[in-house]
């Protein structure tokens, strides 16, 4: 069952009191205390202060306190014969009663204020009174009575030139047409209101019309058009911080999403609407949002939750006399009781609903409820009653169908009238064109000359612009090539540095050592003593050559990752074993805190290089007797690994620039170890190729922590 959407009724309230800053309330009370000590002499001033305090509470939506001070102020204004202020107090008391859901009390206050304003010939006040009195009858479903008072209000507002008030009352009249299913009249009336609001640049008034037009489109199943108007209305209300308007439009958006079966969006919009309505104490808005939420939960099969919410909505509507809301809740509850096979309870509710539907002249609900009664009586075996209500169901269904035909016919007629008027206008324009043909030809000739000249200017400008773009593009390409050349020169210089220093030095030492041995200037024992250092130098040369090879492959974009599930903990153990000699030389404590069984999705060869380079880096910059720690944790489908050392560290600038260039600048290690910087460059490349990231945290003389992430492998 579709949720209900409700119109926001516009109040044309004549409030002449100056807006009072919230912080001034205490000072008003202080003045009031002083004046009340001399009450008979200052009764008019006391009444005015009481009225201002009442309006302060009114603006803050503290209606109970506002009600109290309005009553006291109205009595005092009457005593001092200030009938205009007395009438204003009565009018505001009617507004408060309406907000609090006391419809009968609101009617009494509005009628009393109208009597006083008629005596004073207060036309603007009368128009406001008639408008707001009509709002109450509209809520009660007494549409004819409401329409009569709206039309009285409209007549006065048009007479005194109150355009904003005219637009407001037109919107309220449109709501009557809407609830009576006369959508053509509703749309026409809303468009009149829209034209006035646009001429006044009244954004809030425009937003109300958008909301009402959206309701009409929704009734015609034009959901995209309806949603577009709702969103435009909501944007304006959010900008103007109109809480009640926001609640109204959010409620209607939720109802529309429900019809589209987009239940998550519907619930989100309705809960926002409910929160706003509860915050401002707007009972009709609270009831509407709860009713729509109940309807969604009914659609989702959550029957008990739906029943609870429908009952809650019904109680609120009964409290404020909202017959439309009561009818929707009762109809839904009757349907639920039928589904639960509580036929007698369903019949009882359906009969209550029929009484309300007759009062509201709502044929669609009369059709649905009689159909429901027919099914209930059939289930109970009372076929005579079932047949009777089925006949009524058919009668109302025919009536609703006929209304639909009438609406469609009216729309077609309206479109026909529009087309006819358009044809007349076009014929008149054609006659005018024929009459002024010579003049038009002369003007057209001048236009052609101007267009030709303009075309020539545009053509020249286009050629100049194309040349400019080509020059600009050529300049940009030149700058890019220059940057690439500078980058290539830097890389070349780095490579020559590596070859000339990092490779030449160890090779020269090796050449000299072998020369001494060949010349018998070293005996076997001396040569054997130098073998570990020789092995270390050759290993460094091999590592540098391997890194150069890998780096050159990466520069040719030939690096390809073949990720497979790989044990991180096992790889770390292998790398620890590989570097055991270097760890012993510096007496480093190696802590492998990687949990056993941690699996990453990575190319194993790439992981081997990543871990070797990072561990080698940590050893290189660690101090004697230091500690190196490896840890890991899982976060958002990634394994984050950290390699921490207690070495020399680096400053923030060095850390920030570490992964910003193609070739990392290397420093000597704590034992004079040399490096090329290629290792970290390759490490970054391989990590990113396997879907991860690398970053560093470091502090000078306290050590560094290198972090990198790799995709976690999670077994099904």
Compute the chain's Rg from CA coordinates.
42
- Helices (H) and strands (E) counted in the chain, each on its own, are 27, 7
- Would you state the pLDDT for residue 429? 47
Instruction: Assess contact for 141 and 360: CB atoms under 8 A.
Output: yes
Average pLDDT in the 355-366 region? 84
Give the CA distances from residue 196 to residues 14, 76, 417, in Å, rounded to whole numbers and listed in that order.
Answer: 20, 40, 23
251 confidence band (pLDDT: 50, 70, 90)? very high
Nearest to 258 by CA among 518, 1, 542: 1
Q: What is the pLDDT of residue 47?
A: 87
**Interval 320-334: pLDDT, tens:** 878 888 888 899 898
pLDDT band at 19, cuts 50/70/90? very low
Task: List, as one string, the DSSP characters of 50-78.
Answer: HHHHHHHHHHTT-HHHHHHHHHHHHHHHH
487 pLDDT tier (thresholds 50, 70, 90): low
Contact 613, 627 (CB under 8 A): no
**pLDDT of 43 above 90:** no
Token pair, residue 543, equals 């590592």
The C-alpha atoms of residue 254 and residue 333 are separated, in whole angstroms, by 20
CA distance 6 to 179: 10
Q: Any idea what DSSP says for residue 94?
A: H
pLDDT (tens digit per residue) in 686-716 = 899 899 999 999 998 899 999 999 999 887 6
Question: Do residues 696 and 704 lie in contact, with contact meaning Cβ atoms separated by under 8 Å?
Answer: yes
Question: Per-residue pLDDT for 665 more than 70?
Answer: no
Say which residue, 530 or 429, is predicted with more confidence. Answer: 530
Give just the sign of the alpha carbon dihedral 639, 645, 646, 647. negative
288: which 2 tokens? 């509407």
Confidence of residue 539 (pLDDT cuts 50, 70, 90): low
Residues 703, 649: Cα–Cα separation, whole Å: 4
CB count in 10 Å sphere of residue 406? 13
CA distance 285 to 290: 9
pLDDT exceeds 80 at position 400: no
Q: How confident is the model at residue 210 (pLDDT cuts 50, 70, 90)?
A: confident
277 pLDDT more than 80: yes
- Using pLDDT thresholds of 50, 70 and 90, give the confidence band for residue 13: very low
Residue-level pLDDT at 508: 64
pLDDT tens, residue by residue, 431-451: 645 665 666 677 777 778 788
Q: What is the Cα–Cα distance from 449 to 251, expressed in whole angstroms?
A: 58
Output the pLDDT for position 421.
43
Average pLDDT value for the chain? 81
pLDDT, one tens digit per residue, over 603-657 is: 988 898 899 889 988 998 999 999 999 999 999 999 999 999 999 998 888 888 8
pLDDT band at 543 (very low <50, low <70, confident <90, very high): low
For residue 564, list its beta bridge partners: 602
**Whole-angstrom distance, CA of residue 701 vs CA of residue 649:** 5
DSSP assignment of 629-667 equals: EEEEEEETTEEEEEEE--S----HHHHHHTTSSSSPPP-
Q: Give residues with Cβ within 8 angstroms of 227, minimum separation 6.
A: 214, 253, 256
Instruction: Specify the pLDDT at position 402.
Output: 67
What value does the mean pLDDT take over residues 491-502? 51
pLDDT > 90 fraction of the chain, expressed in percent and rounded: 34
Higher pLDDT, 218 or 431: 218
For 122, the 3-state DSSP assignment is: coil
Percent of the chain with pLDDT over 70: 79
Residues in the chain: 716
Return the pLDDT at 682: 79
Mean pLDDT throughout 484-511?
57
Q: For residue 102, what pLDDT band results from cuts at 50, 70 and 90? A: confident
Indicate whether 407 pLDDT > 80. Answer: no
| pLDDT recorded at residue 181 | 72
Cα dihedral: 545, 547, 550, 555 (round 10): -100
Helix (H) or strand (E) holding 243: helix 243-259
Average pLDDT over residues 135-140: 87
Residue 269 has pLDDT above 80, yes or no: yes
> CB of 14 within 8 A of CB of 124?
yes
The crossing angle, in degrees rounded to 10, of helices 63-79 and 43-59 is 160
Q: Is the pLDDT of residue 420 over 70?
A: no
pLDDT at 406 over 90: no
Q: What is the dihedral of CA 334, 337, 338, 341, to 10 degrees?
A: -160
pLDDT for the residue 28? 52
Per the model's pLDDT, the better-predicted residue between 371 and 221 turns out to be: 371
Q: Which 8-state DSSP code applies to residue 200?
A: T
Tokens matching residue 598: 């941690």
Burial of 118 (0-12, 13-18, 19+ CB in 10 A): middle
How many CA atoms are closer than 13 Å to the CA of 555, on its beta-carbon side? 15
Does an H or E element contain 304, and which?
A: helix 303-320
* pLDDT tens, position by position, 159-170: 999 999 999 899
Would the pLDDT of 235 be above 60?
yes
CA distance 644 to 588: 12
Collect all residues with Cβ–Cβ distance below 8 Å to 471 and sequence separation of at least 6.
none
Assess whether pLDDT exceeds 80 at residue 541: no
Q: Does residue 711 contact residue 690 with C-beta atoms inside 8 Å?
A: yes
Q: Is the predicted pLDDT of residue 424 greater than 70, yes or no?
A: no
């Amino acid at each position: 069952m579709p949720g209900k959407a409700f119109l926001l009724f516009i109040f044309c309230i004549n409030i002449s009191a100056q807006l009072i800053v919230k912080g001034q309330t205490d000072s008003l009370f202080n003045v009031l205390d002083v004046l009340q000590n001399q009450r008979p002499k200052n009764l008019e001033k006391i009444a005015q202060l009481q009225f201002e305090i009442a309006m302060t509470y009114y603006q803050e939506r503290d209606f109970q306190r506002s009600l109290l001070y309005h009553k006291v102020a109205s009595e005092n204004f009457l005593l001092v014969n200030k009938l205009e202020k007395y009438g204003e107090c009565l009018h505001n008391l009617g507004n408060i009663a309406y907000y609090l859901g006391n419809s009968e009390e609101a009617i009494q206050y509005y009628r009393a204020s109208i009597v006083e304003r008629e005596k004073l010939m207060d036309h603007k006040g009368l128009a406001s009174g008639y408008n707001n009195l009509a709002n109450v009858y509209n809520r009660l479903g007494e549409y004819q009575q409401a329409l009569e008072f709206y039309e009285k209000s409209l007549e006065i507002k048009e007479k005194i030139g109150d355009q904003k008030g005219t637009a407001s009352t037109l919107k309220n009249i449109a709501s009557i047409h809407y609830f009576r299913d006369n959508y053509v009249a509703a749309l026409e009336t809303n468009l009149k209101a829209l034209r006035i609001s646009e001429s006044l640049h009244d954004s809030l008034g425009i937003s109300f019309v958008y909301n009402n037009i959206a309701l009409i489109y929704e009734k015609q199943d034009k959901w995209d058009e309806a949603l577009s108007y709702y969103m435009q209305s909501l944007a304006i209300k959010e900008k103007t911080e109109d809480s009640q308007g926001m609640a109204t439009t959010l409620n209607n958006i939720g109802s529309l999403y429900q019809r589209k079966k987009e239940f998550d969006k519907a619930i989100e919009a309705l809960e926002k609407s409910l929160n706003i309505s509860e915050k401002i104490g707007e009972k009709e808005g609270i009831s509407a949002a709860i009713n729509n939420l109940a309807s969604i939960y009914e659609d989702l099969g959550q029957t008990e939750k739906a029943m609870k919410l429908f009952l809650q909505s019904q109680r609120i509507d009964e409290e404020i006399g909202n017959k439309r809301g009561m009818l929707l809740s009762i109809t839904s509850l009757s349907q639920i009781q039928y589904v639960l096979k509580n036929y007698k309870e369903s019949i009882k509710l359906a009969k209550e609903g029929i009484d309300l539907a007759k009062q509201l002249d709502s044929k669609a609900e009369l059709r649905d409820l009689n159909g429901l009664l027919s099914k209930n009586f059939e289930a109970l075996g009372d076929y005579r009653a079932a047949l009777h209500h089925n006949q009524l169901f058919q009668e109302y269904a025919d009536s609703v169908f006929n209304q639909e035909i009438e609406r469609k016919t009216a729309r077609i007629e309206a479109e026909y009238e529009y087309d006819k008027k358009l044809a007349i206008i076009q014929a008149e324009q054609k006659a005018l064109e024929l009459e002024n043909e010579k003049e038009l030809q002369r003007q057209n000739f001048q236009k052609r000359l101007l267009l030709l000249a303009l075309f020539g200017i545009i053509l020249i400008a286009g050629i100049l612009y194309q040349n400019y773009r080509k020059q600009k593009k050529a300049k940009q390409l030149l700058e890019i090539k220059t940057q690439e050349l500078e980058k290539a020169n830097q890389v070349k210089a780095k490579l020559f540095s590596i070859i000339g220093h990092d490779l030449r030095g160890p090779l020269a030492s090796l050449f000299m050592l072998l020369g001494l041995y060949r010349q018998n200037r070293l005996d076997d024992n001396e040569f054997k003593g130098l073998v570990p250092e020789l092995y270390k130098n050759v290993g460094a040369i091999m590592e540098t050559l391997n890194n150069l090879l890998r780096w050159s492959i990466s520069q040719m974009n030939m690096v390809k990752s073949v990720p497979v599930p790989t044990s991180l903990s096992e790889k770390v153990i292998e790398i620890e074993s590989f570097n055991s000699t270097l760890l012993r030389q510096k007496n480093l404590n190696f802590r492998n805190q990687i949990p056993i069984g941690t699996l990453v999705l990575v190319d194993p060869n790439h992981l081997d290089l990543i871990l070797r380079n990072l561990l080698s880096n940590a050893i290189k910059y660690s101090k004697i007797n230091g500690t190196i720690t490896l840890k890991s944790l899982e976060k958002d489908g990634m394994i984050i690994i950290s390699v921490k050392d207690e070495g020399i560290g680096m400053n923030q600038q060095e850390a920030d620039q570490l992964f910003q260039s193609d070739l990392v600048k290397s420093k000597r290690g704590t034992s004079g170890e040399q490096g090329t910087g290629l290792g970290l460059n390759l490490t970054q490349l391989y990590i990113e190729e396997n879907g991860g990231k690398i970053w560093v945290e470091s502090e000078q003389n306290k050590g560094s922590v290198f972090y990198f992430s790799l995709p976690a492998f999670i077994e099904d």
